[in-house]
């Protein structure tokens, strides 16, 4: 009887040892590292359309028949700002069109950044993510008129690190 | 003359930290220490458009005036869709102890309808002369 008891005791102890052995299986951590560089992307999506006012003194994308250009700005952080530079002259136009002309731009922002009718020279802080810009451009003649012909100008959407 | 050459080579060697070429321009901000009167920045430019594009590199001061006497490894370059490349820019300190400037990559304008739009991305960098 004593032998049977001691035999059961040994069997039980062995079972506990086996069970405890399986519960101590080793684990290993697999570490992943990554880095996202601080960066900004500007994509000009579509050009705008210029239209003339009734007195031929204003060429603008906001006039009837005109339309804004579009650009997409993607910022990896909120450390960037956007501006829209006006041109210093027409790319193509009838002779003398630059004379007495003032160029200007405005922009609207939606998406990661929200802004409305901002003067192009005014910087807007960009939110991290994708911002869609609607860009308007104008050319105003203080003296004289814009003659018939083909006109084109270029605006520059700039994403820059904040000062 | 020999000393000036060595100083210039040191300046070339001390470039800005390398960024990941995953966006249009990277890194967007960096400090560069130089022993000479010039310092160099290496930026990574990527074409995010779905077609090939031509880009122009420029350097401006903080008032957005062009900086003269700048050397570029490539001033104008064409990139295939999604392609990237690095550009070295060597800018002068012009006798100052430190100088900040923008390095800009500008894509060719998207035209049509009279009002073209072009994209420009500008990183801001600072050259610092090493103090002995």
Cβ distance of B117 and A159 shorter than 8 Å:
no
> Domain residues for B72?
22-129
**Cα B32 from Cα B11, distance rounded (Å):** 9
Is B41 part of a structural domain of the chain? yes
> How does pLDDT run across A66-121, given as a tens digit for each residue?
999 999 999 999 999 999 999 999 999 999 999 999 999 999 999 999 999 999 99
Is B9 part of a structural domain of the chain? no
3-class SS shares of chain A: helix, strand, coil, % to 5: 15, 45, 45
Which fold is adopted by the domain A40-161?
Answer: Immunoglobulin-like (2.60.40)
Is B54 part of a structural domain of the chain? yes
Count of CB atoms within 10 A of residue A13's CB? 10
Cβ distance of B124 and A50 shorter than 8 Å:
no
**Cα A163 from Cα B10, distance rounded (Å):** 28
> How does pLDDT run across B7-50, given as a tens digit for each residue?
333 333 334 433 333 347 888 888 999 988 899 999 999 998 88
Name which of A15-29, A43-57, A97-111, A120-134 the model is least confident about.
Answer: A15-29
> How does pLDDT run across B55-86, given as a tens digit for each residue?
999 999 999 999 999 999 999 999 999 999 99
Cβ distance of B119 and A43 shorter than 8 Å:
yes
Q: Are A157 and A118 in contact (CB under 8 A)?
A: no
> A-contacting residues of B 30-69, CB under 8 Å?
46, 48-49, 62
Is B3 part of a structural domain of the chain? no
Chain A: residue whose CA lies nearest to B105: A158
> How does pLDDT run across B86-121, given as a tens digit for each residue?
999 999 998 889 999 999 999 987 777 788 899 999
Q: So where are chain A's domains?
A: 40-161
CATH number at residue B49: 2.60.40.10
The number of folded domains in chain B is: 1
Is B42 part of a structural domain of the chain? yes
Is B69 part of a structural domain of the chain? yes
Whether residue B132 is predicted with pLDDT greater than 90 in this model: the reply is no
0.85 surpassed by complex ipTM? no
Q: Show Cβ contacts of residue B17 under 8 Å, excluding neighbours closer than 6 positions.
A: B27, B30
């Amino acid at each position: 009887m004593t032998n049977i008891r001691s035999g059961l005791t040994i069997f039980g102890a062995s079972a506990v040892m086996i069970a405890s052995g399986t519960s101590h299986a080793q684990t290993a951590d697999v570490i992943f590292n990554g880095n996202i560089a601080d960066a900004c992307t500007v994509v000009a999506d579509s050009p705008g359309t210029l239209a003339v006012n009734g007195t031929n003194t204003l060429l603008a994308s906001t006039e009837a028949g005109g339309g804004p250009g579009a650009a997409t700005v993607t910022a990896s952080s909120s450390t960037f700002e956007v501006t829209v530079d006006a041109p210093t002259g027409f790319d193509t136009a009838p002779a003398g069109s630059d004379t007495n002309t003032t160029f200007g731009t405005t922009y609207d922002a939606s998406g990661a950044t929200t802004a409305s009718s901002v003067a192009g020279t005014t910087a807007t802080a960009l939110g991290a993510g994708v911002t869609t810009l609607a860009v308007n451009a104008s050319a105003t003649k203080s003296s004289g008129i814009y003659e018939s012909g083909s006109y084109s100008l270029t605006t520059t959407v700039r994403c820059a690190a904040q000062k | 003359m020999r000393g000036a050459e060595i100083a210039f080579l040191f300046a070339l060697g001390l470039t800005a930290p390398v960024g990941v070429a995953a966006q249009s321009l990277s890194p967007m901000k960096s400090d560069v220490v130089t022993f000479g009167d010039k310092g160099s920045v290496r930026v990574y430019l990527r074409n995010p458009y779905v077609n090939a594009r031509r880009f122009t590199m420029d350097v401006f001061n903080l008032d957005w005036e062009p900086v003269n006497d700048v050397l570029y490894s490539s001033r104008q370059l064409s990139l295939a869709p999604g392609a990237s490349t690095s550009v070295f820019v060597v800018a002068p300190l012009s006798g100052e102890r430190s100088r900040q400037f923008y390095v800009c990559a500008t894509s060719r304008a998207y035209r049509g309808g009279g009002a073209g739009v072009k994209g420009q991305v500008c990183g801001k960098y600072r050259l610092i002369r090493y103090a002995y």
